[in-house]
Amino acid sequence: MQRDVYKAKTHFLERLRHQPGKIVNLCFVIVLIFSTILTWREVVVLEDAYISSQQNHLKNVASSLDRQLQFSIDKLLFFRHSMGDALQTPLGFRVLQDAVTKFNRLRNQPFWQLDVDQQRTLPISGVSDATVERTTLLARDGQRIGNELSAALEVGYLLRLATSTTGKERRVSYVSRAGFFLSTDPSPLDYTIVSRYYDLVTRPWFTQQNERQNRSRGVRWFMAPLSDDREERVITASLPVYQDHYWYGVLAMDFTLPTMKQLLTEAVDRRTDGEYQLYDSRLNLITTSEPPDGLVNQFDELERAQIAHAIESDTQGGIRLNSRYISWERLDHFDGVVLRVHTLQEGVNGDFGSISIALALLWALFTAMLLISWLVIRRMVSNMSSMQNSLQWQAWHDPLTRLNNRGALFGRAKTLAQECREQNIPFSVIQLDLDHFKSINDRFGHQAGDKVLCHTAGLIASALRSSDVAGRVGGEEFCVVLPGATIRQAAEVAERIRACINRKEILVRKSTTTRISASLGVSSTEENENSDFEQLQSIADARLYLAKQQGRNQVVWRDADKK
Ligand SMILES: Nc1nc2c(ncn2[C@@H]2O[C@H](COP(=O)(O)OP(=O)(O)OP(=O)(O)O)[C@@H](O)[C@H]2O)c(=O)[nH]1
């Protein structure tokens, strides 16, 4: 088994050795495959780096935006906390008690206002008991209303103080379920109080803050729908106010779209390319980092669905949409998501684009050079291989007769003799010498002599089997080895060759023909089993000499033989 494997391996390597063209092809294909894999790996690494750089840019913007919004949300939480404290232990100021007394006087009027101290707190505007009773969403609890009014006035101080110093929030308000509200917006004392209150308590940021819809009682963000044209479009952060499981009302903070745009633009580093877009939780576009006259990236329905699906389960990630790469990051303090849209053109103009192009060009250049060198080497190998074949042929053959030369014949004859001995079959040798060849040269010239030699070689070759080997071993001397042939069979072959040579007229010159003859000596291992080729050749040569002596044009295959 091991020997078979070894033999198969040797055979394979031997075959490869004789097919250098195939080895060259194999080497080039391997180099091409490896260079392509290497380039592909580099592209993958580059793509990963590109994606993480996109994520990093976006992360910076998102955390900067978050920081800015956190300040407002912290304020909102602070207001609720203060209001909770005030509800639990209201201050015993007289001015607050007077306000409650005044409310009790006004509570049945269609609209009213408690204007305690315009310089320090915000006025409370409200509607009548009858209006509150009209809907189950609202409730004016006789036990709680006093405390709530005092707490609202206390928070009014804070709202006024906190919102007057920064201009980020468009409006902060507290809307109570008990039929009143206070807001940083100026509130005139007229019939519009009723419609304003109605408008506030019908907004989703108020109605959706009940215990069922906001179990965590955290901040929720709402964007006014597009069709809403009652006033400028705002984003509202709202926070429910609870005390002892009782829902008092909602604290709300409005941000205008220009404010959101300003926050986003401030968060974006102008040196980075790509567009940043801020979306609400329902993937409605709030604002973009592009200037008002800039080109905003739009998404069609299918792309929006793909983005929505992608951002559904992850807080951050990326998705390729045709020629655009979209990365997203959810915000901690805003119920929405920031998108970074990076177009192919921006990518190509950027660092990663130029590195990718350089990499692709390098690969193309390398492949082109590899192909050129493959063509050159293939041609060189093919030339060398045909030259080697030609040299090899010349080394083993006689150029005139195209038969094996002396060295080649001796080499092959020794091997064949050895094989025959191993297989225990006979091995025979024929020695052939043309008669009076010198006279042909003398009479017709050397060229005619060459022609006769070629003609003789052709006749010898045509009289042999494929296993027999013939060669020119001297000037006009030939030798034939016949593996497996008995002495009689070899003698028959020799006789056939002799007859053939002697039968034909040879055209040695224009309109001049001549007939030639040959003397042949035959020997075989049949006579002496242990004879090697050289011994057999020497015997055949002696018999050839005998044939010459006996008158030429004859075959001698036994020492006593005479024609
Ligand atoms: N044309 C030609 N002649 C050759 C070549 N090689 C040897 N000869 C000639 O062959 C002749 C051999 O002559 P000899 O050895 O005297 O033998 P022969 O004339 O055939 O006489 P016998 O062998 O006794 O019949 C010589 O004249 C060589 O010059 C060759 O390649 N071409």
Secondary structure, 3-state, 484-544? CCCHHHHHHHHHHHHHHHHHCEEEEECCEEEECCEEEEEEECCCCCCCCHHHHHHHHHHHH
Distances (CA, A) of 116 to 81, 122, 127, 181, 250: 22, 8, 17, 14, 22
Q: What angle do CA 162, 165, 166 make, to 5 degrees?
A: 95
CA distance 466 to 484: 12
pLDDT at 249: 95
- Three-class SS of residue 208? coil
Compute the distance from residue 505 Cα to the ligand 1 centre, in Å.
Answer: 19
Structure tokens that stand for 521 in this block: 């000596």
pLDDT at 562: 44
Quick check: CB of 551 below 6 Å from ligand 1?
Answer: no
Compute the distance from residue 481 Cα to the ligand 1 centre, in Å.
Answer: 22
- Domains of the chain in start order, with CATH, are 68-258 (3.30.450.20), 271-344 (3.40.1840.10), 406-556 (3.30.70.270)
Atom 16, ligand 1: residue with shortest CA distance? 438
Atom 28, ligand 1: residue with shortest CA distance? 438
Which of 85, 135, 117, 110 is closest to 182 using CA atoms? 117
Q: What angle do CA 366, 371, 373 make, to 5 degrees?
A: 95
Atom 8, ligand 1: residue with shortest CA distance? 475
Q: Quick one: which atom of ligand 1 is closest to the CA of 446?
A: 1
**Other residues' Cβ atoms within 10 Å of the Cβ of residue 100:** 18
E strands within 98-153? 111-114, 124-127
Q: Quote the radius of gyration of the chain (alpha carbons, Å).
A: 55
Q: Quick one: which atom of ligand 1 is closest to the CA of 437?
A: 20
pLDDT at 7: 67
Quick check: CB of 449 below 6 Å from ligand 1?
Answer: yes
Contacts of 334 (CB under 8 A, 6+ apart): 65, 66, 69, 221
**DSSP letter assigned to residue 397:** B
Full strand arrangement of the beta sheet holding 324-330: 285-288, 275-280, 336-343, 324-330, 316-321
Catalytic residue among 148, 169, 275, 476: 476
pLDDT at 537: 94
Where the chain has pLDDT below 70, the residues are 1-7, 10, 12-18, 118-119, 163-167, 226-231, 271, 560-563
Quick check: CB of 66 below 6 Å from ligand 1?
Answer: no
Structure tokens that stand for 488 in this block: 């009689």
Mutation probe of ligand 1 site: the residue of 401, 406, 434, 438 with most atoms within 8 A of C-beta: 438
Helix (H) or strand (E) segment spanning residue 63:
helix 20-88
Quick check: CB of 478 below 6 Å from ligand 1?
Answer: no
pLDDT at 231: 61
pLDDT at 561: 46
CA distance 386 to 402: 18
Quick check: CB of 475 below 6 Å from ligand 1?
Answer: yes
Compute the distance from residue 545 Cα to the ligand 1 centre, in Å.
Answer: 15
pLDDT at 2: 62
- Three-class SS of residue 222? strand
ipTM exceeds 0.90 = yes
Compute the distance from residue 539 Cα to the ligand 1 centre, in Å.
Answer: 22
Residue indicated by tokens 């036994």: 558
Active site residue 154: no
pTM, two decimal places = 0.59
Which of 173, 177, 176, 201 is closest to 187 using CA atoms? 173
pLDDT at 227: 55
pLDDT at 273: 77
